[in-house]
Structure 1
């Protein structure tokens, strides 16, 4: 995992064990929350993937 992301997760109070159990989406959402981007959830990221897929299919 990226060192900056790991630092942010630890600063948010997560243990190394809980960090290891996170999905990449969960870790990213926690990283964003550390930086003040609130209410981002894995479902938000899934929607981004869907939208990217639609753009790729259109080309």
Structure 2
């Protein structure tokens, strides 16, 4: 089993995500969020009440 590290710093609607792989960031609220991961992937997430959610990866490496 390998070790991992992740720390999230909230700055209003922006989150900085620190991990062993690098720094990522996301912007949005509980319903709509755009994320850029440390390895360059971009993800769009939409979360609806009642447990429904939709997630789309917009770009890869």
Relative contact order higher in (CA < 8 Å, ≥ 6 apart): 1
TM-score for both structures, normalised by structure 2: 0.24
Structure having the larger proportion of residues in helix: 1
Higher Rg: 1
TM-score for both structures, normalised by structure 1: 0.24
